Amino acid sequence: MQAATTLDHRQLYRLPWTLPDNAISWLEPTSACNLACDGCYRENIPSSHKSLDVVRTELETFKRLRNSDGISIAGGDPLMHPKIVDIVKIVAELGMKPIINTNGGLLTEELLRDLKRAGVYGFTFHIDSKQGRPKWKDSNEVELNDLRLHYAEMLARVGGISCAFNSTVYDDTLKYIPELVEWAGKHIDIVHVMVFILYRAAVPQLPFDWYAGGKKVDMDPLVYSEDRERKVDLKAPDAVAEIRKRYPDFMPAAYLNGTEKADSFKWLLTGKIGTKKRTYGYVGAKFLEAMQTAHHLFKGRYLAYAKPSLTSLGRSMMLFGFIDPPMRKVAKEYLKSIFFRPSEAFRSIHYQSIMIIQPVDFLPNGAQNMCDGCPDITLWNGELVWSCRMEELKQFGCWVRTVPCSGR
């Protein structure tokens, strides 16, 4: 694997998201799912649909404890919930953006139109090659682009809905990231966000004993426990290095650090400006700071997802070149291109986000480097908790600690 890219976190914009004031919160109306993905972090419980009253109570608890622009409606798979349209309606009525996180398997155009009427703001489709998805079992990440396009075009037909894709990235699928970035670029008009989540699991080669409180525990009962040795320490700069094999000027502009390591990139955001034919460049830290700050100033919340009507304003965004040097470069590239090919002036120019997420890192001293300002915070017994590790609370009643074990 190519050496990781060096990124200087002080040159990037530290996203202003915190526990009480964040862009997103994570609602799980069910943990039932119709797939069994390799890297899943939630136990699949078929009969776990929450009532609308419980869902409303949880949403009101989020509102009481935390400012959120969007609610990620996840699971399990939220489309398994028979009242998913009502759930979207409640989220919208409470003034937050309903974002459905789904594998898409149950999505029909008819259901999509019902969800649009209910106020759905966006979708994040979880699609990758380790989901055991019927009809796509042997497809690799690139072959799955046909499935991704199917959903992106369905959303575009209905219109006005933000479209994102996320993929869990394993050591043997890391190599496909540049192709997915390229594919997304060719569809920059209907694919607004690409998210790459680096694989994590409790694997046997980790040199730790696991403790719940003062008691040593066995992680086997947890869905993210693994009995085979597997690579679980891919870092965001590794993914950037892979992308730069094809796009040497690929440049992230914002991040969330870790709770233990200030210079770790737990969420690493890159903003691309371009047409379906070409990329003019990548936005800088000042542009993203202006977007987050202005949204908070005028809407009282940090920006989560943006409507296609906003992401299609690529040309206007270039005006931020007066405060953002990378955006100035984008504008120069654009002006150069229309000088040589005037027809470019008539193409629509879009903004696209590429996010890399680096879940828990286990440090040699046993400390756990989580995402500082975790956007995927959910609720457990009325308390705000990390959704990626909620199985520990369900199983042991507390977070599991990692204690370096001598002799390993």
Site for ligand SF4, rule CB under 6 A: 266, 357, 359, 370-371, 374-376, 386-388
Minimum CB distance to ligand SF4, residue 134 (Å): 27
Minimum CB distance to ligand SF4, residue 14 (Å): 15
Judged by beta carbon, residue 267 or residue 287, the one nearer ligand SF4 is: 267
Judged by beta carbon, residue 166 or residue 337, the one nearer ligand SF4 is: 166
Minimum CB distance to ligand SF4, residue 258 (Å): 9
Minimum CB distance to ligand SF4, residue 75 (Å): 14
How far apart, in whole angstroms, are the C-alpha atoms of residue 229 and residue 350?
A: 42
Judged by beta carbon, residue 327 or residue 374, the one nearer ligand SF4 is: 374
Burial (0-12, 13-18, 19+ Cβ within 10 Å), 134: exposed
Minimum CB distance to ligand SF4, residue 322 (Å): 33
Secondary structure in 3-state letters for the chain: CCCCCCCCHHHCEECCCCCCECCEEEECCCCCCCCCCCCCCCCCCCCCCCCHHHHHHHHHHHHHHCECCEEEECCCCHHHCCCHHHHHHHHHHCCCEEEEEECCCCCCHHHHHHHHHHCCCEEEEECCCCCCCCCCCCCCCCCCHHHHHHHHHHHHHHCCCEEEEEEEECCCCHHHHHHHHHHHHHCCCCCCEEEEEECCCECCCCCEEEEECCEEECCCCCCCECCCCCCCCCCHHHHHHHHHCCCCCCCCCEEECECCCCCCCCEEEEEEEECCCCEEEECCHHHHHHHHHHHHHHHCCCCCCCCHHHHCCHHHHHHHHHCCHHHHHHHHHHHHHHHHCHHHHHCCCEEEEEEEECCCEECCCCCEECECCCCCEEEECCEEEEHHHHHHHHHHCCCEEEEECCCC
Minimum CB distance to ligand SF4, residue 54 (Å): 21
Minimum CB distance to ligand SF4, residue 102 (Å): 17
Residues 117 and 159: beta-carbon distance below 8 Å: no
Judged by beta carbon, residue 264 or residue 279, the one nearer ligand SF4 is: 264
Minimum CB distance to ligand SF4, residue 12 (Å): 17
Judged by beta carbon, residue 12 or residue 107, the one nearer ligand SF4 is: 12
Judged by beta carbon, residue 279 or residue 292, the one nearer ligand SF4 is: 292
Judged by beta carbon, residue 330 or residue 374, the one nearer ligand SF4 is: 374
Judged by beta carbon, residue 126 or residue 266, the one nearer ligand SF4 is: 266
Judged by beta carbon, residue 112 or residue 370, the one nearer ligand SF4 is: 370
Residues 6+ apart with CB under 8 A from 209: 216, 402, 403, 405
Q: Which two tokens stand for residue 284?
A: 């800088």
Minimum CB distance to ligand SF4, residue 353 (Å): 15
